Amino acid sequence: MTLPLEGIRIADFTHIMAGPYATHLLRLLGAEVIKIEAPGRGDAMRYYGNDRSRDGMAPAFVAVNAGKKSIVLDLKDPDSLAIAKRLIERSDVVVENFRPGVMARLGLDYPVVRALKPGIVYCSVSGYGQSGPLRDWPAIDNIVQATSGMMSLGGDPGDPPMRVGFPVVDTLTGLTAAFAILAALFRRQRSGDGEYIDVAMMDASLAFMTSAVVPFLVTGRPMERTGNTGYSGQPTAALFEAGDGKLISLGVVQQDQFHALARILDRPGWLTDPRYATADTRRANASTLQQAIKESLSHRSAADWESRMSAAGIPCGMVRSVEEAISLPHLRTRGLRIPLQDGDSPLTESLQVLNAGFLFDRDGPTVAEPPPFRGQHTTEILDWLQVTPPVRTKIVERSQ
């Protein structure tokens, strides 16, 4: 197997989620990712969650660090800084997600790194970017969910703002960074030129919300909150209760889909009823139509309707918990769940992570190794960089 990014080496100065998710995606594609961690606790994500028995290898850390290597370096120490620079000289990509100005204070900002390796691709991930009035504001996922307007979009009119229930901003920012890095590597392959990439969580969030933001730019009207009604605003693209009390989401937005819905619900009269003749008239009579749909769905379970409607070409899906969704046999055939090789500790036994979310015909994204313990590869990397005592001894001691 030859993965697309085999031979690409990444010096990974990231921590928590957004940056590590970017390098995680690149690792799944075959890049070698060397994670530089601070002495002591290392990446704070190692300790996220309430289960102290998993300290050092918290599930949130496992999710975005499988297959990486870890070296402990104190970047404020001249000897460690020299080793970091030596590592960068042998790398293709540098990724960091400190607040703007930190890498410059450490002596590892883009001008310095470019002088070491002119063809380097250097990606900085931050809350609000490397420029602009908000540049120095601190930010984490839930903060940018608030400041970007994301929190204001969900729920029904009158509801209080609500955070998306997982770190969506971190994740989409990491995805944006990985996409940008791949584009820069592709251009470097053709021209030999490196690149500096400035990824802001705020920018990435608004770009991600393009279906809500651009209509406002075009019309000047803010997007209305529609709860569980789909983006189309159709009353047939909403959430309904089935006969077993479970919920099913319909996505009937096209005319032929509405006809199929009328047939499967045994409501032939809808096909000639002028109230339901078009999308506009269905919206005008939403309450009546939705009540009729609810009555029809009460005769079968959500799972039964899901199966029947899907077979009939009607977009629908029963509402599942994450546990139910990830247990679907369908995902095994898709290879979305990746079992990792057992490590040397109970904390790394029987671990699983998720794949990149796409498949290749051959040699697609994958990873086999568990996440590294803090400093697990320090000795190996120092050997490779030919670091000798007494500096080597000092670095190894700090990684313990």
Quickly count: other Cβ atoms within 10 Å of residue 12's Cβ.
Answer: 31
d(CA 93, CA 181): 8
Nearest C-alpha neighbor of 110 from the set 79, 131, 128, 88: 88
The label of the residue with tokens 């955070």 reads: 163
Contact, 66 vs 367, CB < 8 A? yes
Structure tokens of 52? Answer: 């102290």
Residue 390: asked if its preceding bond is cis (omega within 30°), the reply is yes
Q: Where are the beta strands (DSSP E) in the chain?
A: 9-13, 32-37, 69-72, 93-96, 121-126, 195-200, 239-241, 247-250, 316-318, 337-339, 352-354
Report d(CA 381, CA 149) in Å as an integer.
44
Which residues neighbour 99 within 8 Å (Cβ) at sequence distance 6 or greater?
126, 127, 136, 138
Q: Put residue 221 in one of left, alpha, beta given phi > 0 → left and psi -120 to 50 → alpha.
A: beta
CA 173 to chain centre: 7
Query: Which entry of 77, 159, 170, 198 is annotated as an active-site residue?
Result: 170
With tokens 């307007």, the residue in question is: 149
Between CA 7 and CA 27 the distance in angstroms is 11
HSE (side-chain half, CA atoms, 13 Å) at 159 = 15
Residue 170 annotated in active site: yes
Name the amino acid, one letter, at 100. Answer: P
Q: Please list, in sequence order, all residues whose beta carbon lies within 8 angstroms of the beta carbon of residue 370, skipping any fewer than 6 positions away.
A: 62, 66, 67, 340, 341, 342, 343, 348, 351
Task: Give catalytic residues, as residue numbers.
Answer: 170
